[in-house]
Structure 1
Amino acid sequence: MRSLLAALLCVLVAAPPANAHTRPVEDLDAATIPQLVRRLDAGTLTAVDLTRAYLRRIETVDRKVRSVVAVNPEALAQAAESDRRRRQGRARGPMDGIPVLLKDNIDTRSTGTTAGSRALRVPPRDDAELVRRLRAAGAVVLGKTNLSEWANFRSTTSTSGWSAVGGQTNNPHVLDRNPCGSSSGSGAAVAASLAQVAVGTETDGSIVCPAGQNGVVGLKPTLGRVSGDGVVPISSRQDTAGPMARHVVDAAILMSALEGRGVDYAAGLGSATLRGKRVGVWRLAGRNAEADRVVREAVDVLRRSGAVVVEVELPYQAEVGAVEFPALITEFKHDLERYLRTRPGAPKTLAELIAFNEADPVELGKFGQELFLEAAKAPPITDPGYVEQRRTATSLARRSIDEVLAGHRLDVIMAPTNGPAWRTEYGRGDAYELGSSTPAAVSGYPNATVPAGFAGSLPIGVSFMAGHGADARVLGIAAAFERAADARRAPGYSPS
């Protein structure tokens, strides 16, 4: 990757800027897409210069973080084309010329797609639908980010952020701490300002946990809002791609492009308020003292901002937990084998993939493939037992949110997203203490996480979830909370 990146940085390096008044972005960490667009429109910044700045950060900063597994050889050319469109008055909207990184389970012809596995080294035949939508919006596809291999669905003792292709991604706040998964590279890269925004994917927690643990914003959208075509699956019944960003407004703008249906999720965010909003607080108290403190501080922010806070508990969580995993095991085998049939040069069945891993010198070096072995024995999706598991999981997860929202006349439910990041270690799996992702993940409802505080140097986020299709609502409340709390800070790259 590094030699390709060096070559990319040489491209156009001798070319004069499009405007003599162009100047670099002095603080990429603080810059928002609306601010960048104003400069692009005014001619004081070019998409080429912005893309080059992010490529330089990948070359330097990512040596510590190890979040980017491939850079796009077409990135600077895409940026130059964006600059030409803008000079001709043909800019395609707020994502035109904005560099974006993609999780490496999203199909791209130019950079390949591996899901972290050496078994998928032959590139896919086509881009994923969401990539086509990003290109239609004028975005600059900067490259691919590392992930927990197979979206953390290979082993019962897997370590988040590790893949056979990309190695171990580190948390940029404290480098020996874990970035959470499976969208570990996307969360860490955005936190480290290696791109303006990134795309992650989630089945249950894989956007919101890495966003929370790396101190950035993440949106797990309503299921179906973003196309899953060309995304390596766990389960089409829960999987969705979604935006990750340093600022809620940027996540909203990226969400509009990913959905591609003309909805402007950023509209009105500047005037969004917490005043008069009814917020249910699901504390999940007693699991981590620092997370409990951050939630208390977040509640204080809500009350000072005029929100009405209601203490709530979400019902049916044990019942959902009992059936979600066995349903996912069945769906994984069915959906993954359907996807593998689209990939040239790849194993076509889970059994073939298991055999590949057993023969490969790297794949099983850190942990095993217990989940693959279990999924290989799973019943078909026509099995009545499975059908009842999925029906129960989805219906009870939806009821857990719908009944609490209606019963207390709430706008949203707030919960801690994560505890402090654990030390990355191999052999015993991730040291999760708490997470609130399951109700929204299994129901298919939207869930937005925002930085809320720190445990020492380690970020903790809070999540806002609501009912089906309430993506704009949770983004609005997330934006209002973001302004009131002002909790995010740039990572310090501490070694320990």
Structure 2
Amino acid sequence: MELLAADLDQATIPLLARRMAEGELTSAALTAAYLRRIAEVDPLLRAVLAIDPTAPHQAEESDRRRARGQARGLLDGIPVLLKDNIDTRGLATTAGSRALRVPPGADAPVVTRLRDAGAVLLGKTNMTEWGNFRSPWATSGWSAVGGQTANPHVLDRTPCGSSSGSAVAVAASLAQVAVGTETNGSIVSPAGHAGVVGFKPTPGRISNAGIVPITSLRDTAGPMARHVVDAAILMAAMEGGDQVFTPGTLRGARVGVWRRTGFDADVDRVVASAVELLRDHGATAVDVELPYQDLVHAADRPAMVAEFRHDLERYLRTRPGAPRTMRELVEFNEDDPVELSVFGQELFHEAGKTLSLSDPVHLRRRRTATELARRSIDEVLAAHRLDVIMAPTNGPAWLARGSDPAGPRTALPAAVAGYPNTSVPAGFAGPLPIGVSFIGGRGADDAVLRRAAAFEEASRARRTPAYLPSTP
């Protein structure tokens, strides 16, 4: 049967898996439906960089497994898109850069896990070039390889980044789920702007080998989905574990509310509404402030730049035909007709002058940033006996080629601490989505997902994108 866009928008992985198990749906039909969506809708969005030509064959293989009673789990036969900084055999992995157009020779471990789970890998998604780490003035969602990805809710607005294409593709039903990556907000921020779910897990749960790095200390892949249950199932498959998920409840939960008021009136309104919803469903909401944020940022930024050079040059040595050093990348960009057409490479220049990772100054910066980020969360959780902290993920999306206004910027503490963070749709500023983030302490990944699922069920805030050309 032909699946309509509305069917795809509302469907969850458990529902699709059940229909396939009962013979009402095939992976081949599901995959064909998503490929049609990409052909019809993506010219507006530029979220998908490349289609894997083997996707229909992957789907047919899944159907044959299921017919033999050998389905590999809930993700078997489910179409997935991958951010284009994740090594994928046979497909270019560019991180948005024309310098990396020769495909890698092998899959990243996370891709191997997805293949083992039976996922249908549809292709690769656009991203902010080099993970938004080439210039402080990078244009979110733009890369020299893929151009500018559009926000599906209002097409002239930013999708944010750097997992821009993955968030937009999920919001627009171009795949059931997608994989993003995060170092500092690159999953949760575009998820908030696209009105979908994004989960940044504790680094180390998923191997970051074969992922174009910023800093291997905390780079991590993570799931992006229209529903928390799908994000949890994809997360389990990426780890190689059990794909069963049980949502939690808000009743009895103690939630710290980091409001970040004063940045935007619509954000304040959405957070206030989310607090009322928490209380209506039996949670206790306590206003909190997370300390040390300026100190964390001041120590973390120069440490990241040093780690970026070291880790990226190590990765480049695995890519045949690519530049080998930061200096060679700078020279490539200077000679290329497209690379520097929208923004510069100031961070590349800065990275070329950084300290070694064994330098005492660098070690002190990294230790300071990590310890203070962890204290900022741990102390607040302990002082108020909290289960999680809730904060606004994002403000309303700005014009795609405009400057990034000051926003709530709540991704930093969990990112630097290495703690879990998930963003869930919570409301709107006109037609533009606003998300809230649920942040947990050390190792609280599953608890964060369960609370996020309970909030999602109570709020039902997600909307299908309207593809408006613009808004005042």
Q: Give the TM bin, normalised by the shorter chain.
A: over 0.9
Tell me, yes or no, if the aligned pair for 1:158 and 1:430 is still in contact at 8 Å.
no
SS in 2 for 1:70: strand
Find 2:451's aligned residue among 463, 467, 477.
477
Determine the structure 2 residue equivalent to 1:398. Answer: 374
**What CA distance in whole angstroms lies between the structure 2 residues aligned with 1:316 and 1:363?**
37
Tell me, yes or no, if the aligned pair for 1:146 and 1:161 is still in contact at 8 Å.
yes
Tell me, yes or no, if the aligned pair for 1:149 and 1:163 is still in contact at 8 Å.
yes
**What CA distance in whole angstroms lies between the structure 1 residues aligned with 2:66 and 2:428?**
40
Determine the structure 2 residue equivalent to 1:15. Answer: none
Find 2:220's aligned residue among 229, 240, 263.
240
1:494 aligns with 2:468: yes
1:441 aligns with 2:415: yes
**What CA distance in whole angstroms lies between the structure 2 residues aligned with 1:281 and 1:252?**
24
**What CA distance in whole angstroms lies between the structure 1 residues aligned with 2:399 and 2:428?**
16
Alpha-carbon RMSD across the aligned residues, in angstroms, is 0.9
Find 2:149's aligned residue among 143, 160, 169.
169
SS in 1 for 2:348: helix
Residue by residue over 1:8-49, the C-alpha shift from the partner in whole angstroms, topping out at 9 and shown as x without a partner, is xxxxxxxxxxxxxx5535510000000000100011100010
1:222 aligns with 2:196: no
1:451 aligns with 2:425: yes
1:144 aligns with 2:120: no
Determine the structure 2 residue equivalent to 1:279. Answer: 255
Q: Counterpart amino acid of 1:125?
A: G
1:268 aligns with 2:246: yes
Quick one: structure 1 residues 95 and 359, their matched pair in 2 at CA, closer, same or farther if it must change by over 3 Å? same
**What CA distance in whole angstroms lies between the structure 2 residues aligned with 1:94 and 1:386?**
44
1:191 aligns with 2:167: no
The percentage of counterpart residues that share the same residue type is 67
SS in 2 for 1:454: strand
Find 1:348's aligned residue among 296, 300, 324.
324
Q: Counterpart amino acid of 1:424?
A: A
Find 1:314's aligned residue among 273, 276, 290.
290
Determine the structure 2 residue equivalent to 1:17. Answer: none
Tell me, yes or no, if the aligned pair for 2:90 and 2:105 is still in contact at 8 Å.
no
SS in 1 for 2:8: coil
Displacement after TM superposition at 1:407 (Å): 1.0
Determine the structure 2 residue equivalent to 1:95. Answer: 75
1:54 aligns with 2:28: no
Q: Counterpart amino acid of 2:443?
A: G
**What CA distance in whole angstroms lies between the structure 1 residues aligned with 2:443 and 2:76?**
26
**What CA distance in whole angstroms lies between the structure 2 residues aligned with 1:175 and 1:353?**
32
Residue by residue over 1:245-275, the C-alpha shift from the partner in whole angstroms, topping out at 9 and shown as x without a partner, is 0000000000000111x244x4321xx2100
Tell me, yes or no, if the aligned pair for 1:73 and 1:110 is still in contact at 8 Å.
no
**What CA distance in whole angstroms lies between the structure 1 residues aligned with 2:406 and 2:101?**
31
Find 1:157's aligned residue among 123, 137, 141.
137
**5 Å matches for 1:92-131?**
92-131=72-111
Tell me, yes or no, if the aligned pair for 2:229 and 2:245 is still in contact at 8 Å.
no
Q: Counterpart amino acid of 2:265?
A: A
**What CA distance in whole angstroms lies between the structure 1 residues aligned with 2:360 and 2:242?**
39
**5 Å matches for 1:390-429?**
390-425=366-401, 429=403
Tell me, yes or no, if the aligned pair for 1:148 and 1:181 is still in contact at 8 Å.
yes
Work out the number of aligned pairs and report it: 469
Q: Counterpart amino acid of 1:443?
A: A
Residue by residue over 1:46-99, the C-alpha shift from the partner in whole angstroms, topping out at 9 and shown as x without a partner, is 001000000000001111111000000110100000000000000000000000
Determine the structure 2 residue equivalent to 1:4. Answer: none
Tell me, yes or no, if the aligned pair for 2:47 and 2:165 is still in contact at 8 Å.
yes
**What CA distance in whole angstroms lies between the structure 2 residues aligned with 1:263 and 1:89?**
18
SS in 1 for 2:49: strand
SS in 1 for 2:20: helix
Residue by residue over 1:89-129, the C-alpha shift from the partner in whole angstroms, topping out at 9 and shown as x without a partner, is 00000000000000000001221100000000100111110
TM-score by length of structure 2 reads 0.98
Determine the structure 2 residue equivalent to 1:361. Answer: 337
Q: Counterpart amino acid of 2:382?
A: A
Q: Counterpart amino acid of 2:383?
A: G
Find 1:324's aligned residue among 283, 300, 307.
300
**What CA distance in whole angstroms lies between the structure 2 residues aligned with 1:463 and 1:94?**
26
- Structure 1's unaligned 5+ residue stretches are 1-21
Tell me, yes or no, if the aligned pair for 1:148 and 1:161 is still in contact at 8 Å.
yes
Find 1:77's aligned residue among 54, 57, 60.
57
Determine the structure 1 residue equivalent to 2:280. Answer: 304
Displacement after TM superposition at 1:388 (Å): 0.4
Displacement after TM superposition at 1:464 (Å): 0.3
1:462 aligns with 2:444: no
Tell me, yes or no, if the aligned pair for 2:420 and 2:441 is still in contact at 8 Å.
yes
TM-score by length of structure 1 reads 0.93
**What CA distance in whole angstroms lies between the structure 2 residues aligned with 1:58 and 1:256?**
26
**What CA distance in whole angstroms lies between the structure 2 residues aligned with 1:370 and 1:432?**
21
1:251 aligns with 2:265: no
**What CA distance in whole angstroms lies between the structure 2 residues aligned with 1:60 and 1:324?**
42
- Structure 2's unaligned 5+ residue stretches are none
Q: Counterpart amino acid of 2:141?
A: G
Q: Counterpart amino acid of 1:237?
A: L
Q: Counterpart amino acid of 2:361?
A: G
Q: Counterpart amino acid of 1:24?
A: L
**What CA distance in whole angstroms lies between the structure 2 residues aligned with 1:112 and 1:321?**
34
Residue by residue over 1:173-219, the C-alpha shift from the partner in whole angstroms, topping out at 9 and shown as x without a partner, is 00000000000000011000000000000010000000000000000
